[in-house]
C-alpha cells in the first residue's frame, strides 16, 4: 500500500483485493461504484475467494459506496510523519470484511 509505505498481507490464501477503482466525474453520484464492486465481489465470492477492498478514509464517497456494496470495515491503517519519525498504526475492528 504505497500511501502508507506498507505491505498488506492477505488473511488467507484465497484472498483477493479490489483496488484502484475510479468513476468518471460525469457518472458520479449514480451508485455505479457500489454496483460495480458489489457485482465483482459476488463473482469472486462465487469462485471461493475472500474479497477485500480498501479506500482512503478521506474519501467519504468511496467509503459510502463500499459500505453500500455490502463490505464491512475490518481494519484501519494510518501513517503519521513528524520530522524524521514515522508512525504507522493499525486498528482492527470486530466483524467480517467479506462481501455480503
- Residue 18 within a domain: yes
- Residue 98 within a domain: no
Q: And the C-alpha cell for 48?
A: 471461493
What is the per-residue pLDDT for 42?
Answer: 96
15: β partners: 50
Give the distance, in angstroms, between the CA of residue 74 and the centroid of all CA atoms in the same chain. 9
**CA-CA-CA-CA torsion sign (18, 24, 25, 29):** negative
- Residue 67 within a domain: yes
- Residue 100 within a domain: no
- Residue 81 within a domain: yes
Chain position carrying cell 458489489 = 38
- pLDDT in tens for each of the 100 residues of the chain? 676 667 777 778 888 989 888 899 999 999 999 999 999 999 999 999 999 888 877 788 888 999 999 998 777 666 677 776 666 666 666 554 444 3
**Residue range(s) defining the domain that contains residue 51:** 2-92
- Residue 73 within a domain: yes
- Give the total number of structural domains in the chain: 1
Does pTM top 0.75 for this prediction?
A: no
- Residue 71 within a domain: yes
Q: pLDDT tens for residues 78-88? A: 667 777 666 66
- Residue 50 within a domain: yes
Amino acid at each position: 500500500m504505497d500511501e502508507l509505505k506498507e505491505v498488506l498481507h492477505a488473511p488467507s490464501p484465497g484472498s483477493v483485493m479490489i483496488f484502484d477503482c475510479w468513476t468518471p466525474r460525469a457518472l458520479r453520484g449514480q451508485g455505479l461504484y457500489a454496483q460495480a464492486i458489489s457485482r465483482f465481489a459476488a463473482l469472486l465470492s462465487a469462485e471461493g475467494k475472500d474479497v477485500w477492498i480498501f479506500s482512503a478514509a478521506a474519501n467519504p464517497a468511496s467509503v459510502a459506496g463500499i459500505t453500500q456494496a455490502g463490505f464491512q470495515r475490518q481494519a484501519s491503517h494510518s501513517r503519521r510523519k513528524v520530522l524524521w519519525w514515522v508512525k504507522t498504526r493499525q486498528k482492527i475492528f470486530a466483524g467480517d470484511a467479506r462481501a455480503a
